Chains A and B, each alone.
Chain A
């Protein structure tokens, strides 16, 4: 006691800097994983630079109208020289977003239900079979989804589209005028949904399976039914992962080329009527035009690629914000 009094009030020190000196093996390992970690960034950067370099001329010429107008024409004279060009992506951008959102809207509920079934209800043997089928589905070539969508899905999806139109037609996006129901953004969205269901299901199932057992048991011990356990414990825990998985699916849906190209009727005019047989898609446009494009048009396609790239980045950025907001709460 006396000692303390003699000392007087102790000065509060500023926090020390804490450092550690890693061993050589640790440094080596760190260098290896850093290389791996940065490589994706480098590759992404190189792609962006390449697209920007190739498309710069077009972007400079078209300016903002490249993403606000919808006309895409290349006029050539009888000698094959280009006389006039107009490049506008608006219809394609709207179409890309529309199809991708339809896909996510359909795929996420189905995938979450599937993941819940696999994690909490399916008997072990069935679970094993279903999981490998779903993984197989994720690796399925997209052209086959496209063919299947065109020849098998289209007729029945058309029926559903007509039904939606009949009962919800008063909502502007479900209007169809004139009544053409084939090759619509809706059908492309359904095909995309089927393609991204495996991804979203796998990721959701993975996070569900990590739900802490003691929390599940705590809920059961309080007299909860299985559904209540899922609702109050598993879903809050998995929410961040499900959102993340959905965003991966969204990214895939926005970038998907061949399947959409196969089923969608590409039209150079903005169309918000999801059931109407006219749509747009940036990636499909590139595929459509690339084969017979002149070097100059190819530059325009590169610029379109850059815009798609930036759109995907932007959507992923938004998604990250959502995940960061909702992710940690249930953990």
Chain B
């Protein structure tokens, strides 16, 4: 594990909104993953996605591409539909009674909502980290990390190595390595969230959706997670919802700005992250990223 860029990151953590553009400019450029897009597939595409909760139209007409091996940040004020959108991307939206959606979500060009699709396979390929940590309290820490393998009935020859690797990547290894047999619920909130990240990594998803993964974390763990996100983007496509502009600027290649202006939430603008933070096309985006609004 390389911690070389830690100091650099600390500086970035203290960046003020006015210097966001320069942070974003320093961030990794898209398409620099070493594995090439073939191993990653061609990514995820949302086509005219709408979402409803009963009669409430929560999200309107969002079309967004997530090219393979990139990190896309979703930003926007509270209640604008970011979580709703991200949950349509791995078919978690449909668990809410009365929820409905329209449009298409294409994984490697195939619609994941197509009738006859094995939805468990879809969710295995499109992993998710929730806003609120939700480890399995009946399992130990170690079992939690490997729970995805068990749940999806996957085989892995070297479980101990995998467990350690995932916990290291999630920045939790040092804190739990001596008590892997303790219960998942015995960790602090931030530790639980990192455990959930480790759990999502263990099944090696093609796409990882993260809904404010750092909202319960301290700055140190947050940096660790950001490191992880950057490493993961070599082998995964990542979508991250965040309220932290600096975080969006630090980790993402592309940023999409969402806004609900009275009506359903919409995507106002999407572009390379550096552009969103330096010269957004839409006035509302500029107001939001400069903190003048929202």
List residues of chain A with CB under 8 Å of any chain B CB: 212-225, 228-229, 232-233, 236-237, 329-331
Contacts and interface: CB of A to CB of B under 8 A. Distances in A.
A236 B134 contact: no
A214 B120 CA distance: 17
User: Considering the complex of A and B, which 4 residue pairs feature the smallest CB-CB distances, nearest first?
Assistant: A223-B124, A236-B138, A224-B151, A330-B138
Contacts of B203: 222-223
A224 B134 contact: no
A222 B138 contact: no
A224 B152 contact: yes
A225 B138 contact: no
Given A214-B130, A222-B124, A224-B152, 14 more contacts: A212-B134, A217-B95, A217-B130, A218-B130, A222-B147, A222-B199, A223-B203, A225-B120, A228-B152, A228-B153, A232-B136, A236-B136, A237-B138, A329-B138
Interface string B138-178: 11000000011011110000000000000000000000000
B127 A214 contact: no
Contacts of A224: 120, 151-152
Contacts of B127: 221-222
B224 interface: no
Interface in B195-210: 196, 199-200, 203
Given A218-B130, A222-B123, A233 B136 contact: yes
B128 interface: yes
Interface string B117-139: 00011011001101010111111
Contacts of B139: 232
Nearest to B153: A228
A38 B124 CA distance: 53
Contact of A218 (B124, B136, B138, B152): B136
A225 B203 CA distance: 15
B215 to A, nearest CB: 15
Contact of A222 (B95, B183, B200): B200
A6 B177 CA distance: 40
A140 B92 CA distance: 42
A145 to B, nearest CB: 36
Contacts of B134: 212, 214-215, 217-218
Contacts of A236: 136, 138
B270 interface: no
25 contacts: A212-B134, A214-B130, A214-B132, A214-B134, A217-B92, A217-B95, A217-B130, A218-B134, A218-B135, A220-B92, A221-B123, A221-B128, A221-B130, A221-B200, A222-B124, A222-B148, A222-B200, A223-B120, A223-B124, A223-B148, A224-B152, A232-B147, A232-B150, A233-B136, A330-B137
A329 B183 CA distance: 9
A224 B121 CA distance: 9
Contacts of B132: 214
B247 interface: no
A232 B151 contact: yes
A221 B120 contact: no
Nearest to A330: B138
Contacts of B191: none
Nearest to B152: A223
Contacts of A214: 130, 132, 134
Contacts of B90: 221
Nearest to A223: B124
A222 B151 contact: yes
Contacts of B183: 329
B151 A215 contact: no
Nearest to B154: A223
Contacts of B200: 221-222
A218 B136 CA distance: 8
A223 B151 contact: yes
B148 A331 contact: no
Nearest to B144: A218
B210 to A, nearest CB: 11
